[in-house]
Chains A and B, each alone.
Chain A
Amino acid sequence: MSTAAIDYTQEVPLIEGRPRASEIDATIAAPLDEFPKRGWWIAFAVTASMLAFGGYCAFETVWQGLGLWGINIPVAWGFDMTSLVFWIGIGHAGTLISAILFLLRQHWRTGIARFAEAMTIFAVICAGMFPILHLGRPWLPLYLTPYPNQHGVWINFMSPLVWDVFAVSTYFTVSLVFWYVGLIPDLATLRDRTTSKLKKIIYSIFSLGWRHSNRHWHHYERAYLILAGFATPLVLSVHTIVSFDFAVSVLPGWHSTIFPPYFVAGAIFSGFAMVQNALIFVRQSFNLKHIITLNHLEKMNQIIIVTGSMVGYSYLMEFFISWYSGSEFERFVFINRALGPYAWAFWVMVSCNVLFPQLFWIKKIRRSVPIMFVIGVLVNVGMWMERFVIIVTSLQRDFLPSSWGMYYPTIYDIGILMGSFGLFFTLILIFVRVLPVVSIVDTKAVMEGGQPKHH
């Protein structure tokens, strides 16, 4: 068959090289059985030092007070909220891959779902850290929950900030449950193949006694479907509600109905870029190239173009609406955004989010690992800048010109941001060493010869 006559109705095999089921076990469990090599330790040393520096900055912030940060009036939200929205966005790819692609029967998700779900959980942990530090007294977030108290006071259920607390905590809990339910059969497989006594005890506890019974699989598959069905609207709701923090206010540049879909698209965009980046390392270092294939990465790049174009459309629409609204304050904010003191940030954002991802229209670039890695990094730089631009440019030009100001981050702002990256990658480095990065069960279920022929 010549290349011109490829049969496109024939699906590309999801796993290359036709491994046997026991080989899949061995390949995926290999990183858990061997002692980490030098490369891992170097990476761990880098991320752990970033985490330590961030931890020091966070400690100083709590001990000395929020005055160490660059936030002030009029820019009362700076790196903290920017990074909160950024990290929540990163988390969205995981649930999208595990829930939405599951409901759409996209079997290629099996190679990347477990890792992306883990990333979701770690990203939400990073995100949650920022508002809690921003409280100044991070041991008092109990006040955000409706609990009966002596003052007879309840929280304001009309406040988007309260919605946010409910949305993010629900998202975290449901993601964790979803992830853990998916892990139970894999942990049972690990339990049965390990030779270490300690590991066996740990895996036995966490696999709860799973027996791969079909009387269980029967309910398990139903539960997985139900959880995916709930996680799908949940993932769309979380960034919608995060965008309400801005859209429900009356500030020009924030007060906009396009925010919910725009934020959700941006979240998936940045999340996929992050998953793609991290998976490039994982498949390289753990010899998983036949399980996390180039086809997986290409499909992710296709989603990056789709969502990137949605984000680009939103940028255009925001400018159009600000002109069309006839409100001189809206117009001023957008002119200030593109040409004002933060114009550099705006143009970094536009080029990283709208221009570079368009290179993925070219198949060669879409399948070139180094180029896609660079574009993935740029997308995340751009998406962080997007939140920075939205937050800071709207705040720095207040309604009263007398209170106009600029935002200058301090070393503590930068340190905590760095620390959040340190935390994220440290958790990932630990994760790839203690749990299977690819779902063993799902991989076996989609391997060739894994399902009966006559069904």
Chain B
Amino acid sequence: MNDGPLYSVTALFDTPDAIIRAAEEVSTGGYTKYDVNTPFPVHGMDKAMKLRQSRLGIFTFFFGLLGTVSIVGFMTWVTVTDYPLVIGGKPFWTWPAFVPIAFEITVLLAAVLTAITMIVLYFRFPNVSHPLHDTPYMKKVSSDRFGISIQASDPKFDEAAVRELLRSLGGKEIAAIYFDAEDLSHRQELFDPKFLGVLALTAVVVSGATYFSFNTLLDMQPFSWMSEQNKLKAQMPSDFSKDGIGMRPPVEGTVARGFLPYPFNGKPEEAGKDLVNPLLPTPAVLARGKAKFLTFCSPCHGNFARGDSRLQGQFPSPPTLHSDKVRNRPDGSIYNVITEGQNVMPSYASQILPEDRWAIILYIRALQRAQNAKESDLK
């Protein structure tokens, strides 16, 4: 400790009057690199030390200006250019509404940046390795004494002369303060393993926390956007019912609307006899029939029901619907084929609504008639 070159010679004084006089004498004596340390600001010291007025206010002015200009510019850009939105029928650029925020941001930037400028730019803080730290001198000026410290780097510095000057001013406990050699030689190594370790640890902690937050934490209660709720979801088990199934089955014998039971299962003849097409071939019905035919029937039977789809040759060829057999079939019989299926054709009952089946049948009839048009149809 304190084994380096000389930093300064210090002296302590008891009263504010004495320190003011000492500061005046030292500054008129031509010393420039000296400092006065007092436990609180002493009135008149600026004059005694011949310090210029602090220019901190100039920085503050520009910081405040920066705040005003940037926030007003930003709000203008948002409300006029980027996101113009009519609010209460007012113009996009309603400057009176900008006043509160402009004021706040001006104060924020001016105050915070002034404090930072003072601490970092003027004081060169944080700095805890100054030679004055941890000296008896520092401990006293921190409490109740007033000290002056003349630095060895001053061009006029001469240790004996300085000691004599301070003694003549009434200074007590005159002492020399030395640099800490270790502090002077201290270099911050980029590849210092300690530094690299801290860096790596920070990286791991930050990335781990980020990963955890985005991938796990956000899916946990209560951050999960109310996905966990005190309600029963479909397919979920429940203790409420005896069978442990959450969803309740319908009461026995329930018939869903539009799904009357089909009485002709395995009875195609009866279906052909008893079932009658309930629809009339209106343009709307035919259009619907066409749409459903193209969706469900055309993949095998072809767009015009000729049985000429691309399945031909790779599959038991789908039959044409223009054969006499089909043309002479009653509507009910065709309905039964769609509902139950036939040969390799599966049932379409689960895919096509009963009404749509009838519409498809009407469309097939229209196709059949178009393929075998009579003279009278052309009139």
Question: Does A281 lie at the interface of the complex (its beta carbon under 8 Å from any beta carbon of B)?
Answer: no
| CB of B221, distance to nearest CB on chain A (Å) | 7
Residues of A within 8 A of B222 (CB): 62-63, 137
Q: Is the CB of B56 within 8 A of A192?
A: no
| A219-B54, A451-B16 known; A208+B40 contact, CB < 8 A | no
Q: Give chain B interface residues in 63-97, CB to chain A under 8 Å.
A: 74-75, 78-79, 82-83, 85, 87-88, 90, 94, 97
Which of B17, B38, B79 contacts A454 (CB under 8 A)?
A: B17
Query: Please, what's the 1-or-0 string for A163-193, where 1 marks a CB less than 8 Å from any CB in chain B?
Result: 1001100100110011011000100110111
Check A189 against B143 for contact (C-beta < 8 Å): yes
A191 to B142, CA, bound (A): 9
A234 contacts across to B, CB distance below 8 A: 104, 107, 111
Q: Which of A153, A156, A213 contacts B35 (CB 8 A)?
A: A213
Query: Do B128 and A204 touch (CB < 8 A)?
Result: yes
Contact residue among B41, B79, B112, B126 (Cβ-Cβ distance under 8 Å from A173) = B112
Interface residue B133 (Cβ < 8 Å from any Cβ of A)? yes
A225's nearest neighbour on chain B, judged by CB, is B57
Q: Which of B43-51, B162-170, B185-193, B363-371 contacts A (4 or more CB under 8 A)?
A: B43-51
Q: How far is the CB of B277 from chain A (nearest CB, A)?
A: 53
Q: CB within 8 Å of A: which of B3-43?
A: 15-17, 20, 23, 35-43
- Residues in chain B near residue A20, CB distance under 8 A: 144
Interchain CA distance A153-B143 in the complex, whole Å: 56
Q: Does A441 contact B (CB under 8 A)?
A: yes
A158 engages B40 (CB within 8 Å):
no
Asked if A451 contacts B43 (CB within 8 A), the reply is yes
Which listed residue, B57, B111, B128, B139, touches A178 by the CB 8 Å rule?
A: B111
Contacts of B23 in A (CB 8 A): 214
- With A219-B54, A223-B118: A214-B44 Cβ-Cβ less than 8 Å: no
Given A223-B114, A455-B43; A216-B144 close (CB under 8 Å): no
Instruction: Check B56 against A214 for contact (C-beta < 8 Å).
Output: no
Q: Is A222 located at the chain interface by the 8 A CB criterion?
A: yes
A227–B138 touching, CB < 8 Å: no
In contact, B142 and A188 (Cβ under 8 angstroms): yes
Residues of B within 8 A of A21 (CB): 39, 143-144
B337 contacts across to A, CB distance below 8 A? none
Are the C-beta atoms of B142 and A215 separated by less than 8 Å? Answer: no
- A455-B17 Cα distance, complex, nearest whole Å: 9
Q: Which residues of B contact A219 (CB under 8 A)?
A: 54, 56, 118, 122-123
Range, interface on chain B = 35 or more
Instruction: Name the residue of chain B whose CB is nearest to the CB of A248.
Output: B97
Identify whether the interface residues of A are mostly helix, strand, loop, or mixed: helix
Is A221 in the interface zone, CB < 8 Å from B? yes
Provide the residues of chain A in CB contact with B110, threshold 8 Å: 226, 230
| A208, B126: Cβ atoms closer than 8 Å | yes
Complex-state Cα separation, A205 to B126, whole angstroms: 8
- Chain B residues lying within 8 Å of A212, measured Cβ to Cβ, are 37-39, 138, 141-142
Residues of chain B within 8 A (CB-CB) of A46 are: none
B130 within 8 A of A: yes
Minimum C-beta distance from B60 to chain A (A): 5
Partner of A222 from the list B20, B56, B87 (CB cut-off 8 Å) is B56
CB within 8 A of A25: which of B60, B75, B143?
B143
A210 to B139, CA, bound (A): 12
User: When A204-B128, A211-B130, A212-B142 are in contact, do A158 and B87 touch as well, CB less than 8 Å?
Assistant: yes
Given A157-B75, A209-B128, A452-B16, A192:B114 Cβ within 8 A = no
B142 touches A193 (CB 8 A): yes
B78 touches A444 (CB 8 A): no
Whether the pair A214, B142 counts as a contact (CB closer than 8 A) is no
For residue B222, give the distance in angstroms from its CB to the closest CB of chain A. 5
Bound form: Cα–Cα A166–B16 in Å: 44
A41 within 8 A of B: no
Contacting pair B100 A237 (CB below 8 A): yes
Specify which of A154, A227, A450 is in contact with B16 (CB 8 Å cutoff).
Answer: A450
CB distance from A213 to the nearest CB of B (A): 5
Tell yes or no: A259 within 8 A of B by CB: no
- Judging by beta carbons under 8 Å apart, are B100 and A214 in contact? no
In the assembled complex, A344 has its CB within 8 A of some CB on chain B: no
The number of residues on chain A lying at the interface, defined by a beta carbon within 8 Å of a beta carbon of chain B, is 70
In this assembly, does A220 line the interface, its C-beta being within 8 Å of a C-beta of chain B? yes
Q: Mark B110-142, 1 if CB is under 8 A from A, else 0.
A: 111011001100110111111011000011011
Residues of A within 8 A of B75 (CB): 157
Q: Does B223 contact A (CB under 8 A)?
A: yes
> Which residue from B41, B119, B125, B139 sits with its C-beta under 8 Å from A214?
B41
Docked-complex contact A227 and B114, CB < 8 angstroms: yes
Structural contact, B54 and A167, CB atoms closer than 8 A: no
- Rounded to whole angstroms, the CA-CA distance of A234 and B203 in the bound complex is 39
B17 in contact with A452 (CB, 8 Å): yes
Q: A279 to nearest B CB, angstroms?
A: 22
What residue in chain A is nearest B36 (Cβ atoms)?
A: A214
A174 to B57 alpha-carbon distance, docked (Å): 17
- Is A411 close to B, CB under 8 A? no
| CA A215 to CA B323, docked complex, whole Å | 111
Q: Which residues of B contact A233 (CB under 8 A)?
A: 103, 107
B247 close to chain A: CB less than 8 A: no
| Residue of chain A at shortest CB distance from B60 | A226
* Distance A223 CA – B113 CA, assembled complex (angstroms): 11
Question: In whole angstroms, how far apart are the Cα atoms of A223 and B114 in the complex?
Answer: 7
Nearest A residue to B21 via CB reads: A452
Q: Pick from A162, A208, A237, A453: contact of B119, CB below 8 A.
A: A208
Q: Does A241 contact B (CB under 8 A)?
A: yes
Q: CB of A217 within 8 A of chain B?
A: yes
Check A449/B15 contact, CB under 8 A, given A214-B35, A215-B51.
yes
CB distance from B43 to the nearest CB of A (A): 5
Complex contact B37–A222 (CB within 8 A): no
* Contact across chains for A22 and B111 when beta carbons are under 8 A apart: no
B108 located at the interface, meaning its Cβ lies under 8 Å from any Cβ of chain A in the complex: yes
Question: In chain A, what residue has the closest Cβ to B223?
Answer: A139
In the bound assembly, the distance between CA atoms of A445 and B60 in angstroms comes to 26
CA of A261 to CA of B213 in the docked complex: distance in angstroms?
45
In the complex, chain A residues whose CB is within 8 Å of the CB of B105: 166, 170
Q: Is the CB of B41 within 8 A of A227?
A: no
Is A39's beta carbon under 8 Å from chain B? no
A244 sits at the interface (CB 8 A): yes
CA distance A63 to B105 in the complex (A): 35
**Which residues of chain A come closer than 8 Å to B221, judged between CB atoms?**
63
CB distance from A231 to the nearest CB of B (A): 7
State the Cβ distance, B97 to closest chain A Cβ, in Å. 4
Query: What's the nearest-Cβ distance from chain B to residue A237, in Å?
Result: 6
Contact B104 A166 (CB under 8 A): yes
Contact B94 A158 (CB under 8 A): yes
A226-B110, A450-B16 known; 7 other A-B pairs, CB under 8 Å? A21-B143, A146-B78, A174-B112, A218-B46, A219-B118, A223-B54, A455-B20
A-B contact pairs, 23 of them (CB 8 A): A25-B143, A62-B222, A146-B78, A154-B79, A154-B82, A158-B97, A167-B100, A173-B108, A174-B111, A192-B138, A193-B139, A208-B126, A209-B129, A209-B133, A211-B130, A213-B36, A213-B37, A214-B42, A221-B54, A231-B111, A233-B103, A444-B39, A450-B40
Chain B interfacial positions (CB closer than 8 Å to A): 15-17, 20, 23, 35-46, 49, 51, 54, 56-57, 60, 74-75, 78-79, 82-83, 85, 87-88, 90, 94, 97-98, 100-101, 103-105, 107-108, 110-112, 114-115, 118-119, 122-123, 125-130, 132-133, 138-139, 141-144, 221-223
9 tightest Cβ-Cβ pairs between the two chains A and B? A21-B144, A192-B142, A222-B54, A445-B40, A208-B125, A158-B97, A214-B36, A455-B44, A163-B100
